[in-house]
Copies of this chain bind each other. A is one copy, B any other.
Amino acid sequence: MFIWQQLSKSQQVDALARPAISDSDTLEQGVKRIINAVAENGDTALFDFTKNFDGVALDDLRLAKSQFQLAEQALSQSRKDAINTAYQQIKTFHSAQRFQDIDVETRPGVRCQLKSEAIESVGLYIPAGSAPLPSTVLMLGVPAQLAGCERVVLVCPPDKNGKLANEIIYAASICGIDEIYRIGGAQAIAALALGTQTIAAVNKVFGPGNKYVTEAKKQLSQSVPGFAIDMPAGPSELLVIADKGANPVFVAADLLSQAEHGTDSQVILLSDDEATINAVAEQLQLQLETLSRKDIAKKALAQSRLILCADIDEAALVSNLYGPEHLSLQVRDTDTLLSKVRNAGSVFVGDYSPESAGDYASGTNHVLPTYGYSKVASSLSLADFSRRYTVQTLTKYGLQSLAQTIVELTDAEGLDAHQRAVTLRVGNGNSDSIGGIECDESSVQDKGDVA
């Protein structure tokens, strides 16, 4: 246990330090080679890599139509019900995020709009490590569907038999996705960014992945003009602020739910009550013993930080410094604390809002900024599947009324042609003649609504 106020400045920095992300040349070069191979050999490279990395020789990259019905038939009703319920929850919250066009007459005859348009084609990367992740399919597939993206492509590495989990296929299908490719790793991201004979390139790729996937997203978003990715990725994080009234059993369970993600998961507890910290520490050991992913969680916990703060205000301050991906507020006065929280990807308020609820089914998105990016980046939302652009419509009167302003500013900036695009239309109000070019300086009487 650390006591925040007894730490020096540099110890405080260390206490909130994140694990270094290995940015090795080997990784960079390895991924570059994979990308180049896909760029040069297209599908052939994808077949080769899938054989080498996933251990299966495929005949066909795309999942056959027949698999969708088979997947649905193979799943238990209770599993389908769970996926349907989560789908509905996520849909309800993301539907409420629809962008409302903004339409303002900034002065008579000058109408400015901010409008939204779905991104035409998007790719969703779904990892398949120890277990399938249908929840991630829903977190990406639901907003893509709601945004109205014309083409939604899902990629997921196959198992040794060339199969994808039934849960993945079923979840994709209820999100309206029928274009699924059985590829994973850096090669899948390269295929989505560059396109191959079978797979047309997409505009933007979403989703989590291992270090090869993350590196490929980084490289391709830098090198392929117009290609974008969702957000920078780092290890998952949870910070819990707990007061004396918090239940140590709950707090420990939450910290463990984060710790089981990976050995580099970050787990931080802040409390103003030493007894609570000790009780949580005890519960962590007790609950750890019976977890199937005990070994992973144990390693992550070894790096965990239990920090005693002077009061809950100080805890809020420390949390804001860290900027956690997930922030759990297990305190009595949640309203006051919530008002002091600045930087977090998603906030879980009160004793009955475990991170698990948001990971699966409350309705919020579980793709969140990590590694300090919660200070600048937003949680994934409907907005990420569309783009906003402006539209302006000026009447002759509207332009005339801004002419003098634009003439002054273009003078300041030395941009004649910018100025002339205005004065040739409406004059500059001083009836100067302009380099022998015929001007339209007729009196302007077409004021009135531009809408």
Binding site for B on A (CB under 8 A): 18, 21, 78-79, 81-83, 85-86, 89, 92-93, 96-97, 102, 104, 106-107, 110, 112, 114, 117, 119-120, 130-135, 165, 167, 203-204, 218, 222, 225-228, 234, 247, 249-250, 253-254, 256-257, 259-260, 286-287, 289-293, 297, 323, 334, 338, 342-365, 369, 371-379, 381, 383, 387-396, 398-399, 402, 404-410, 412-422, 424-426, 435-438, 440
Contacts and interface: CB of A to CB of B under 8 A. Distances in A.
9 contacts: A82-B405, A110-B362, A228-B376, A257-B417, A260-B418, A286-B437, A297-B417, A352-B426, A362-B402
A391, A424, A435 — most chain B CB neighbours (10 Å): A391
Given A259-B417, A352-B395, 6 more contacts: A21-B225, A85-B402, A119-B375, A131-B413, A226-B323, A344-B389
A346 B390 contact: yes
A417 B379 contact: no
A371, A407, A410 — most chain B CB neighbours (10 Å): A410
A379 B114 CA distance: 9
A435 B249 CA distance: 13
A234 B358 CA distance: 39
B390 A379 contact: yes
A312 to B, nearest CB: 17
A411 to B, nearest CB: 8
A437 B286 CA distance: 8
A78, A254, A352, A412 — most chain B CB neighbours (10 Å): A352
Contacts of A365: 390
Q: Interface SS of chain A: helix, strand, loop or mixed?
A: mixed
A425 B354 contact: yes
A129 to B, nearest CB: 9
Contacts of A130: 414
A421 B97 contact: no
B132 A112 contact: no
Nearest to A221: B232
A97 B112 CA distance: 11
A357 B226 contact: no
Contacts of A167: 412
Nearest to A89: B106
Contact of A112 (B226, B362, B438): B362
B82 A354 contact: no
Given A352-B395, A399-B352, A107 B89 contact: yes
A381 B21 CA distance: 32
Nearest to A402: B361
A377 B286 CA distance: 48
